[in-house]
Structure 1
């Protein structure tokens, strides 16, 4: 049964271990959200001819790629069912390159989940090109799941970076909602740094007053959300450091880190801010990138 017109949790599948890790994470998330799980394998119709191989025709190559994609989806569906037997699983082979195929899916999705690296990734790359592209342009929130042991202990928190940038409310909404679904505490981290200040002025600044002001800023940003989600335990953290480094350190014990698509000081036209990019590449847990205007759930 196709669930293409139902808002689904969509996962990109390519046969890699990283993609299967994403499938397992997404299966649990789909059940928590009471949404179908939609598995997508993209197949480009144009293929190259390996040197020394007899030319068997483009149609033969296409059929072989489609067959392998279906096999990848079969394995992914088994993995999903092993994690969540009640998950409603839909699967499809989509024609075209991965990025445009997944971008089309994201237009109707509640959430897009990807592994941190797919097949064909270069050793040493921290995040595959598909993940970077989709985090920057997808029409729905994107979660990148890194390989390794998930931090799914009950007391492991959801972490969200808080600043005054446009789109911050979308990230906060996603983070509070996710913490509520998981029954997990929420760490709201507001980072500030003296790195951009004139070094001549630094010794003369009233640091306690500045820190108190930063605490007030964080409390004000959270006030409406704590009232809306009284079930969520909120742990406020004001850190005198860069946001990317602070979020990366907090990710070591977190279940999920949530960031906006663009941060403070973002340049118009830059689809993914420097903090979001750094956290995507270096976080030790899954990372959700939330655009400024997420879709409203049905």
Structure 2
């Protein structure tokens, strides 16, 4: 199992929050932490010269970036001297670089925003990395509620088992309750009686959900597990649950027509609106 946690770091308060989250996780799991500053300036420089003033010289940019990383590492080592903490700079497109680095990482941790040269692309970078990374991706945002549950939002897709397992491991390590939420989105119509129409979830419909939860309870017998299966809008239900959680774990995508191309709409909504850190887990994780 890969033990390294990679933090996307640019010196902003949001990336600092990501670093603090990663250090806490590393202290709990014995992982190493690497700060990665991804700078796309050399890649984008030719196009940038056509529309604006030339970027600063490479030597100046390198000095500023290295100084930022060195200070961050020094501060982190003072607070967590037992953790192996390193840093490096990658000159590439942020999403491409982070997705590539995720192949050998345990986690990728990103802040909810930033002020780097490509800060305007942050939303698309976070979405792309969350959708295509080869390991779970943590987007650190909001303020996690201490001693609150870890919430897992699952559906009927292939990622459900991976999401639930990751959430259970986090809850167990944090000595927290695991709250598992499975929703069926409501619709209006007069066709066949389904949970989405009647507003009720039958035993048959929730059977796969119950089977997954039973597996987790067997694997983690000392873990307190609470479940909720209801007809509700997934994004709304999980956003509300995140208001009283220390971590919200979801899948990278649902099972819609474009499931192989995009990050699921529910996951995208949570990356922008959750009141606590969000973890996006992939089926292959």
Tell me the TM-score normalised to structure 2 length.
0.87
**In structure 1, what is the equivalent of residue 143 of structure 2?**
149
* Corresponding residue SS for 2:82: coil
Q: C-alpha distance in 2, partners of 1:206/1:8?
A: 47
Q: CA deviation at 1:246?
A: 0.5
CA contact (8 A) 1:103 1:134 kept: yes
Q: Does 1:62 align with 2:58?
A: yes
| TM-score computed with the length of structure 1 as normaliser | 0.83
For residues 193-222 of structure 1, what are the alpha-carbon distances to aligned partners after superposition, in whole Å with 9 as ceiling and x for unaligned?
331x524767997655x3544554432221
Q: CA deviation at 1:116?
A: 1.1
Distance 1:33 1:234, change over 3 A: same
Partner deviation per Cα, 1:239-282 (whole Å, 9 max, x = no partner): 32111110110001111111111114352432311111111111
Structure 1 segments unaligned to the other structure (5+ residues)? 1-5
Which residue of structure 2 lines up, in the alignment, with residue 101 of structure 1?
Answer: 97
Structure 1 position 198 matched with structure 2 position 189: yes
3-state SS, counterpart of residue 186 of structure 2: coil
Contact in 1 for aligned 2:186/2:233 (Cα 8 Å): no
| Kept in 2: contact 1:117–1:131 (CA 8 A) | no
Aligned residue runs from structure 1 range 114-263, under 5 A: 114-119=110-115, 121=119, 128-146=123-141, 148-151=142-145, 153-154=146-147, 156-195=148-187, 197-199=188-190, 210-263=201-254
Change (3 A) 1:165 1:21: same
Aligned partners of 1:260 and 1:276 also within 8 Å: yes
Question: In angstroms, what is the RMSD of aligned CA positions?
Answer: 2.8
How far apart in 1 are the matches of 2:39 and 2:248?
A: 31
Count matched residues: 278
Which runs of no fewer than 5 residues in structure 2 stay unpaired?
none
Q: Does 1:89 align with 2:81?
A: no
Structure with greater helix percent: 2
